[in-house]
Structure 1
Amino acid sequence: MSTPEQSRIRSLSQWRPRPGDLVLAGGTLAALFAAMVPLARVITLSWWVLAALVVAALVFATGVVMRGLRVPAVGVTVAEAVVWIAAVTALFFSGTAILLIIPTRSTVDAAMAAVQSALDDVQYGSAPLEPRVGLSVVIAALTGLLAIVFDHVVLTARMPLLASVGFIALSLAPSIAVPGDFDPAAFVLLAICILFLIRTDTQLRREQVDAGIPRRVPYITAAPADTRGGAPAPARSSTSAMAAGIGAIALVVALIITPLLPQPAARAGYGGATVSIDPSLRLGNDLRRPIDTAVLQVHTSGVSAPYLRVATLSDFSGADWQPDTGPASPVIRSSSFPKVDVDRGIALTKTTTRVDIINLTSRWLPVPYPVTAVANLGAEWAVMRDNRTIVGSVDTSAGQSYEITTQVPSPTSEQIRASSATIVNGAQAGSPLTASVPRSVPVDIAKLAHDVTSGAATDYDALLDLQNWFRGPDFTYSLLAPRAGGFDDSGVKSIEAFLQKKEGYCIHFASAFALMARLLGMHSRVVVGYLPGTASSQVGADPNLYTVMSSELHAWPEVFFQGIGWVPFDPTKGLGVPTAFAAAAAPGSPVTSGNAPTTSARTPTPIRNEAGNKLDVTNGNSAAAAAAAAAANPAPWIGAFLALLVAAGVPSVIGVLRRRRLLAAAREENAAAAWTYVQEAAIDVGLSVPAAESPRSFAGRLSAEHPVPLDSIGLLLAAIERASYGRGGLRGYWQGDAMPDAAASVRTALLASVPARTRWRAVLLPRSLFVRPGSVYAGASGSSGAAAAR
């Protein structure tokens, strides 16, 4: 008798991987990471990528080893879970573990703390997030968990088509969370991985059938023979053609139809029943919306309503301005708001502002600047200390009413002229992000900035020159020109085109001003928020109560002055209030409120509705006309309709191609193809096709409970039994067109025996595309027999 140790050694020595497991595991790992490529727009790339790769690779390797040892599916999943826990523990919590991989109570506590840290980053941060330890732990752990799931679907259940749905959903999630430009390279990479999995799985099934393993009815048919009863011919390219067809349809949808569709996430503008905010500079579509609605009511103790900021954008190191990220503290802590630090002699004006949310659902609260205290907000809201913006853990702004206290620096014109905004030997305060300039910025823009400001004696005068130039006769406000000209964002190319065409709207004025300020050697950033709104014109109305409309979404630049802080400007022509500070010798002159530009004696106050009808545009184009043109443009709706048609028709087309391939194989003496055709037809109408049921039992159930042709089902049963148990194997019993005709007649009878709703579902969304005959899911159907026919 052999000892247990000898048995174990013998078992290990006889280990061999199942055919194709290594290829499928590698392909699934590649598909998983291809689906995670869009995550780079949400989380900055760092070592979390390597950690996630190590965890996922160990999970897939464990699956291959366990299946090579012929461990049952449940045992494989358990082993993968154990390796998953050990890998995460070793990578992140080895200091609290036994032998580096065995977690302890301290390990669990550390893991819970890491999860809480990751949740805080996600709830209070803005994309792209910095991958701190907690977020890296969660990503690596979730990647390993997804690896276990996809390993089960692809290698255990052998349903790569079903797994592809998960891969696509995973790749879409970051785009939904942070809308951005379509990435064709990432899409093509994922499509290649998915098609590789489908093609590999199909080829393995064909090889299995050719080898006669198993003797039960195979899932996929074998290649036809060259002659009746002869050796099989080389496999046809039908599977490759099918994969190429799926890829072609997907490319058409992604590259042609998708660009015509509206952005998937509601933005700062009109978002259906409510308005929502996306802290980015992609405001064009929202400002062109024809529907305007009240979003806020503002009551202020100041002489006028303030600008309300939502987010600041400082990072312009890449193609676009990116929202600021950083640590956040709950607003209920008094220490969450830093002191407003200004030079001696700079006046601080204390103002109280109450904001009532009317129709806004957002994670970001509109607030004046600089916030020093907040009342009536719960612990779910936090303040980002670096920019004093307020962000929440969920979209809970609807119905909020809160009070903001601000201390606004109010320098005189002499004081701000004496202050410097220029960076000298790196001594200027502020983040390096607020001074970075992309290498792709043309030299002509820097030359233009210096030419416009060449006559300025101080930094403040130079910025006033820029502001006046943008608001002067050379520029035209237009919501339509950027779209017609092919630029509708804040990138370098759009700024260059805007400065050439001299037509655009707030994001172009603000981003161009901020970039030119940096080229002059100053710290600058862009702010997204709302204009001050409009006071009620009714007699007896509260003069300090203002209503803010969704069309008053706005963007403006800020420049940092030493000893004063961030000073706003508004270069957008015809909108907002241009910045101007009063001289100390003129006590009756208005001064800036600090959180918004203000008027001066030289610049009249224009109307402030960015999508209103009274805009200062020299070419006669108004925002109302732009909105009407956008509303009349049928392309988005036509694109959406075509996308729905294509999406609805893809499963049906794939089903037709698959059935044609099976019938073609049946016509070439493949009995298994004809029987698979009938099995999949049964699955489509809701019948169970368990692996334990013999062909004769299945045929008896069909003929007893459904009006299928007895001669047809009898012919198919005889053919599959001879093919399965006879000497000739799966071929050698050629019936000409009799087998495919019999299979088609059985499917027609099955479709006719079920209700119309089930019939349409079987045609438009065949269940057999995801559920294979004999799989664990095919045997779990609750519909069978006469019950399905009712």
Structure 2
Amino acid sequence: MSKLLSGRATPEPGHDVGRGIPSEPAPKLLGRPQTGPARWVLAASVFAAVMGTSLSLRGLVVDFSWFPPATLVVACTLLFPALLRRRLPLSPFAPVGALLGWLLGLTLVFFPGTALLGFVPTPATVGAALELASRASTLIMTNNAPVPSAPAIFFLICAGLGFAALLIDTIAITVAMPAASALGLVLIMLPAALTTKAGVGTVGFMAAGAGYLLVLGCCNWYAPEGKIRSASMVQPTGILSRAMALGAAVVLLTALLPAAIPGFTQGSFPQGSRLNGPSGVSELDPMISLGANLRQQSNEVALTYLSNSTSAHYMRLSTLEDFTGKIWQPASFDNSLDPGLGQLSPAPAAGASVPSLDTLTVISTPNLASEWLPAPLSVTDVSGLDGSWLWDPERQTIRSSTSSTAGQQYTVRSKMPRLSRAVLSTASAASGAELDPVFSALPANVPPIVGTTAREVAGDQQSPYAQAVALQDYLRSGAFTYSLDTPVQDGYDGSGMDVLAKFLDVKSGYCIHFSAAMAVMARELGIPSRIAVGYAPGASTSARAELDGQTLNGFQATGRDAHAWPELYFQGLGWVPFEPTPARGSVPDYTQDDTAAAPQASAEPTVAASATPTSTPSATATAAAVAAGGASSTTNRWPLVSGVSAALLLLLATPALARMVVRRRRLGQVRGSPRWGSGLGGSGLADTGLAGTADALVAWRELVATAVDYGYDYDPALTPARHAEKISRMLGRSDPGGLALVLSSYEQAAYGKAESGKNSNGAPGNDELADALETLLARLKTTATPWQRFRATFLPPSFLTRP
């Protein structure tokens, strides 16, 4: 032994003396190499990782009905490669087996009627799969998350999870790149991260992190370098404990930081924002199916407002008037329009002979992000807006290509004619030159059921108004039902003439179907029409404010108030709202009786101010009114600062804490204390007080790791004797006590043959070995520089490297 420490290396078992190049002999492995248990453990780890990560998809679909079939498909995908790995020569073909299992699993779950024996695909199976995939694509294109539960969506999710399992199994086991298997888990989380407001979520992310660590650990234990081995051959490498400590810290920090740091929940691209608009706000996009928004929105307040009316307004954002395309959407906005929003003149408007009602509304949109500005019908003036906004007088909408409604507070004045049955009964439809032809145009492919139904419902009614009321009453009759799900289940969700025909046949749908039906049937009868998209009258609140001598009453609209309704044009009166959707909004008074009445909740406010305000409300008054309407208060920043500080401290302390735990566990094992996780077992000496094989190996590993922490440059090509020489020079002594004992114990455990009950050359006692190790560790610390001691304590290099 003294020769070893003096630099004269002697051959050790496993050395090639002739070549003179030392090589590290492999520790003795007991047991016969069998792949039986290992392949199942590997398959189970991939299965757990995939299904755990799939929890991140909880916000994509309205419920978890897809989970059981997905479990079966993923299990089938992983079963076949595990079976092939039973024989090592067949292991390279595991990806082919995974592909086969994936296809058979999908066939068994979704297309048993088209398959041989219920699971063998046929050409008919391929056709059915393509049809289901096409249906899923349509649902995705016409819906925002959460999408409805439908077989097509289930098929897409199951196929995606099965493919992810195939990818992870191939990369981690066959290609022997377990770290790169994270790609498969990221693919699973990506849809939720991009399309849902909540993003991946804490549960989904933590499950993905735990699954990834599980795959790494199992591949390191059971399939190093892609070679599967049995549990009896498994040795602890130390990588798992470090990976688990680091991974757990990262997962914990990632779960805590989004709640503490504004950048995760605010800004231009927060998690789950769908790359458009701030997180945590409602979003009503008129360019997509309104049904998707209704299924997505919650009871979160989208906007609040105060008005000199005693009834809530319909808040318009945009209009749909071009019914010629397959998908109906707002017309493109002309950027050459006058950006000024003062003294607006809605055109065409009501005639001078018709009495009008002037309304003042102060609107706050703290939780609504849209390029379209919510406002009542017939706006005449808007003030207090931030950003650049354009007014379209023909459609009476306000839009911006550079600004958003998020966080806006503004004042709107509007002028609405006092409508009644008597006034409307004498009105006629617009002349051809009075309106843009787009408000009357119909495509050539209008289904016959639309015109036939319109004429049957109108019957012998002569006036446009009477015909409009007949259409509204027909759609609100008991023959039709309101449903968000039926159009999706029966395949006619969205817009277009084919959708409208199916709706009139099935007689079930939601606001976009009812409003479209009335608007198109009105055009069939010669009445110009359009569809308004925005918010139905919300609920009143207790907020009150005084402005310019008028009392303003508080109201609010939530995401569930998202709505669409038709507006029909009458000469001399302008655009008049109707409400054909049952169980939504309220029927206008001017469609119910002969009593002349002011506009009401379903159209415009019923109570007018004594006089139109003569001056624009001051900034102070407007701010006070909006605050009374429920503007958010300033957030206390102390929880934010505390959370960030705690998270940073935890991050900085992670290496030190993990290294301390590992050191104490190793020292306890060497001294003979109860231990866990060694995976090696002892040599039968635990009860005698003698150091066992595992104890000696752990002692050597801790000595080298501590030396690395204090600056030792570890070279895996050197023999233990050469390492001992270099560590001896670090200690500054020619014959340091205890080093020879630790080295000889390691060499004996790694290369020697153990007899029953004790080592052939005599094993040191646990206390003796532990005392020697602790002495060496203490001497390494005392001989180190202050910087080396600081680094060894707080940034130990052995935490990330395996000596």
| TM-score class, shorter | 0.3 to 0.5
Q: TM (normalized to structure 2)?
A: 0.46
Q: TM (normalized to structure 1)?
A: 0.47
